[in-house]
């Protein structure tokens, strides 16, 4: 990737709408990027279930190499289709990108924009405002494992949980560095070290060591079961959360509902300074795909993260403000109690920019 921030050339973004509502929300996300950053060069990649069913292609090596060498960001909708029950294409494209591009930070903000949308009694935007740093290249996601005597009564299945010092240290460091850079004073690490002695022990040791380098930041720890409870009971306790891949996946869907719904949750799969992949937290939502009612706001906020990665954080703030405005005006899709279509919500947000 060329250093776009140095202005060497126009930024390049690979667009992968993917499956189901991914197609619908990315179409709107692209309109947003074109409106706010017309100099960004976009190139579409036909990858997803359709393509896989057609010619068995998931993520071709030459496409991967182009993303790595020629692009600054990938803008992805969602992957998952009932016609591909193995989900092999999603594994290759989404998890494959995370692993092969070494996108070790999965950064997922949990931020309540409209106070009326929080399901918790008496909690407002000041209470629900945290950043989750989800480790994105290890843990139970690597696919290391296997089966033995498959299909018999003696069947064995194994999935290996992997944690490396390098992997844990870099995500913990990213969380503390972000906290310091953003004037936050609390970082909470969450694991399950009471049951998972070995990987949990490594997380504990690394967290303590890195925390010592940030004396002005209060470092705390919660087991992930208690974290789930506390995020609901007292979300105001949290400013920055750092956790492993699977736990981060689960708590960010919980976080999504705290901020008003899965249609509002954005994420960046980031390797600082390198090509990174941005996608809404939600999936392809086969239950509503093709109906034109998917909420595009998560994708808009995701586009904000992407533009920030391209060196334009002011645009991210503008997008957030416009999404907040549409929420407050009840210009929303059916899952938030509104009557508007994907397109109409997108127009409502774009009209504010
Ligand atoms: P999902 O997020 O697709 O849907 C869960 C529920 O939330 C559904 O009721 C859906 O209608 C609703 N929903 C999701 N996004 C919405 C939006 N933008 N607007 C309105 N409602 C929305 O989760 P799932 O049903 O578990 O997964 C469906 C498929 O997507 C699966 O194949 C799964 O593996 C895949 N998936 C992919 C990604 C990704 O590509 N990043 C993420 C999660 C799930
Ligand atoms: C997410 C998704 C993915 C994950 C799935 C589709 C593999 O749930 O991005 O949150 O678990 O990381
Ligand atoms: Mn998830």
Give residue-wise pLDDT tens across range 37-91.
999 999 999 999 999 999 999 999 999 999 999 999 999 999 999 999 999 999 9
Residues 164 and 257 in one domain: yes
User: By residue range, what is the domain housing residue 190?
Assistant: 112-264
- Euclidean distance between CA atoms 306 and 293, whole angstroms: 24
> What number does the ligand 2 atom closest to the CA of 78 have?
6
Residues 133 and 255 in one domain: yes
Residues 47 and 183 in one domain: no
Residues 256 and 120 in one domain: yes
Residues 78 and 135 in one domain: no
Last residue of a domain, one of 246, 264, 282: 264
How would you classify the pairing of strands 105-111 and 156-159? unpaired
Laid out side by side, the sheet with 129-135 consists of 41-44, 12-18, 73-78, 276-280, 266-270, 105-111, 129-135, 240-243, 186-191, 218-223
**Average pLDDT estimate for 19-33:** 98
* CATH number for the domain harbouring residue 288: 3.40.718.10
What is the CA(29)–ligand 1 centre distance, in A? 17
Residue 3 has a pLDDT of 55
Q: Whose CA is nearest to atom 11 of ligand 2?
A: 249
- Euclidean distance between CA atoms 272 and 311, whole angstroms: 12
Residues 5 and 90 in one domain: yes
Last residue of a domain, one of 264, 280, 304: 264
The pTM assigned to this predicted structure is 0.97
**Residue 7 neighbours by CB under 8 Å, 6+ apart:** none
Contact 124, 112 (CB under 8 A): yes
Contact 288, 173 (CB under 8 A): no
Percentage of residues in the chain having pLDDT higher than 90: 97
Residues 90 and 62 in one domain: yes
Residues 116 and 260 in one domain: yes
Percentage of residues in the chain having pLDDT higher than 70: 98
Residue 2 has a pLDDT of 42
Closest to 287 measured CA to CA, from 80, 120, 101, 144: 80
Number of domains in the chain: 2
Return mean pLDDT, the chain: 97
Residue 8 has a pLDDT of 76
Residues 157 and 251 in one domain: yes
* Count of C-beta atoms within a 10 Å radius of residue 98: 19
Residues 97 and 117 in one domain: no
Residues 125 and 206 in one domain: yes
- Euclidean distance between CA atoms 206 and 236, whole angstroms: 25
What is the CA(109)–ligand 1 centre distance, in A? 18
Residues 295 and 186 in one domain: no
Structure tokens at 29: 């996300």
Last residue of a domain, one of 264, 288, 307: 264
Give residue-wise pLDDT tens across range 130-162.
999 999 999 999 999 999 999 999 999 999 999
Q: Give the pLDDT band (50/70/90) at residue 101.
A: very high
Q: Does ligand 2 lie within 6 Å of residue 90's CB atom?
A: yes
């Amino acid at each position: 990737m060329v250093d776009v921030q140095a202005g060497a050339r126009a930024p390049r973004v690979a667009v992968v709408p993917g499956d189901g509502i991914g197609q619908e929300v990315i179409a709107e996300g692209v309109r947003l990027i074109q409106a706010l950053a017309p100099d960004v060069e976009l190139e579409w990649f036909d990858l997803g279930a359709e393509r896989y069913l057609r010619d068995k292609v998931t993520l071709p090596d030459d496409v991967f190499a182009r993303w790595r060498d020629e692009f600054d960001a990938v803008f992805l909708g969602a992957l998952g289709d009932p016609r591909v029950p193995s989900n092999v294409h999603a594994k290759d494209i989404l998890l494959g990108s995370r692993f092969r591009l070494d996108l070790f930070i999965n950064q997922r903000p949990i931020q309540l924009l409209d106070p009326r949308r929080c399901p918790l009694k008496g909690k407002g935007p000041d209470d629900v405002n945290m950043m989750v740093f989800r480790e994105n290249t290890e843990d139970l996601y690597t696919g290391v494992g296997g089966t033995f005597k498959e299909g018999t009564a003696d069947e064995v299945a194994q999935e290996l949980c992997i944690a490396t010092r390098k992997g844990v240290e870099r995500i913990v460091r990213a969380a503390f560095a972000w906290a310091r850079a953003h004037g936050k004073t609390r970082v909470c690490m969450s694991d399950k070290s009471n049951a998972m002695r070995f990987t949990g022990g490594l997380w504990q040791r690394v967290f303590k060591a890195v925390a010592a380098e940030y004396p002005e930041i209060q470092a705390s720890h919660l087991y992930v079961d208690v974290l789930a409870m506390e995020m609901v009971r007292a979300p105001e306790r949290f400013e920055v959360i750092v956790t492993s891949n699977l736990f981060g996946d689960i708590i960010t869907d919980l976080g999504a509902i705290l901020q008003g719904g899965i249609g509002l949750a954005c994420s960046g799969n980031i390797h600082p300074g390198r090509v990174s992949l941005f996608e809404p937290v939600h999936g392809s939502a086969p239950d509503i795909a093709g109906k034109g009612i998917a909420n595009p706001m998560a994708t808009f906020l995701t586009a904000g993260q992407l533009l920030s990665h391209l060196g334009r954080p002011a645009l991210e703030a503008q997008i957030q403000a416009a999404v907040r405005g549409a929420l407050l005006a009840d210009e929303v899709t059916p899952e938030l109690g509104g009557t508007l279509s994907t397109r109409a919500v997108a127009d409502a947000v774009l009209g504010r920019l």
